[in-house]
Amino acid sequence: MTEVTTTNAGARDVLLEAKDVTAGYTPGVNILTNCSLTLNRGEIVGIIGPNGAGKSTLLKALFGLLSVQSGSITHRGESIVGMHSHELVERGIGYVPQRDNVFPSLTVLENLEMGIYLKPKEFHERADFVQTMFPRLAERRNQRAGSLSGGERQMLAMGRALMMNPEVVLLDEPSAGLSPVLQDQVFVRTREINKAGVSVVMVEQNARRCLQICDRGYVLDQGTNAYTDTGEKLLHDPKVIELYLGTLAS
């Protein structure tokens, strides 16, 4: 793998880029229309927007789970359209789906093992890393994933994606269904993972909290880009507040 180093101050190192993507689940029914997103190395990029806006669909398109009608999706400048998920994982892209993201009948350790079946020799080293990041998983290592709490399952799903030491993770609503305290932990963890060198694309219903931690955000509406800016600017944009973040007073 060639390592791209940025020498110019301000020069961007684009890791993942979707440009004008039109795609859907069935031929003739497009969910995404000319949808674009860029992830630069080191960033956390958030995708927010109403239910049904196509946020999960965009993440699936990035992870090769959708057939793309038009537009391009590149990783390190190379087209990844049509690549299988395992090829994308080998390229350093991890994906944590919104639902069904652990194997309930397997133990925590077995789930982590599934995350690195492509490189079994590295299992112990990576499992140690993940259990250090999520001590709760270490405590529960021999417990079946199906018996974990919602928060623990989310940690396990993230941990499994981290087993391959990815350069990018795509997280689909990691805080969904968790108590406020656990939701906050998810955002804290996501930042820690990012600080450890992993670039992140995260879809979130918890839009404010997401924009607070992300470098840049994309507001999707009806399958297309509505607003794009830094997390900070989106948080304070009156139109975004009015349409997507609740009332100004909140």
> What residues pair up with 23 in beta bridges, in sequence order?
32, 68
**What span, in angstroms and rounded, lies between the C-alpha atoms of 162 and 185?**
17
Among Mg ion, ligand ADP, none, residue 51 binds (CB under 5-8 Å by kind): ligand ADP
The amino acid sitting at 139 is E
Choice between 112 and 219, CB closer to Mg ion: 219
Cβ of residue 52: shortest distance to ligand ADP, in angstroms?
4
Cβ of residue 38: shortest distance to ligand ADP, in angstroms?
19
Among ligand ADP, Mg ion, none, residue 31 binds (CB under 5-8 Å by kind): ligand ADP
What's the DSSP call for residue 2?
A: P
User: In 10 A of CB 174, how many CB atoms?
Assistant: 25
What's the DSSP call for residue 144?
A: B
Phi, psi of 159 (to 5 degrees): -60, -40
Choice between 1 and 29, CB closer to ligand ADP: 29
* Among 246, 190, 184, 235, residue whose Cα is nearest residue 212: 235
Task: Write the CB contacts of 79 (distance below 8 Å, at least 6 apart in sequence).
Answer: 72, 73
**Span from 9-17, 48-56, 226-234, 238-246 in contact with Mg ion (CB under 5 A):** 48-56
**What span, in angstroms and rounded, lies between the C-alpha atoms of 207 and 3?**
33
Applying CB under 6 A, the residues found at the interface with ligand ADP are 25, 31, 49, 51-57
Choice between 54 and 231, CB closer to Mg ion: 54
Q: Which tokens sit at 101? A: 């993201």
Cβ of residue 203: shortest distance to Mg ion, in angstroms?
6
**What span, in angstroms and rounded, lies between the C-alpha atoms of 164 and 142?**
21
Among Mg ion, ligand ADP, none, residue 247 binds (CB under 5-8 Å by kind): none
**Span from 14-22, 51-59, 80-88, 124-132 in contact with Mg ion (CB under 5 A):** 51-59
**Span from 18-26, 30-38, 56-64, 242-250 in contact with Mg ion (CB under 5 A):** 56-64
Cβ of residue 49: shortest distance to Mg ion, in angstroms?
9
Dihedral, 150, 102, 35, 72 alpha carbons, nearest 10: 160
Among ligand ADP, Mg ion, none, residue 146 binds (CB under 5-8 Å by kind): none
Q: Does 206 bind Mg ion (CB under 5 A)?
A: no
Position of minimal CB gap to Mg ion: 56
Cβ of residue 67: shortest distance to Mg ion, in angstroms?
19
Among Mg ion, ligand ADP, none, residue 25 binds (CB under 5-8 Å by kind): ligand ADP
Sign of CA dihedral 180, 184, 190, 192: negative
Q: Would you tell me which residues interact with Mg ion (CB under 5 A)?
A: 55-56
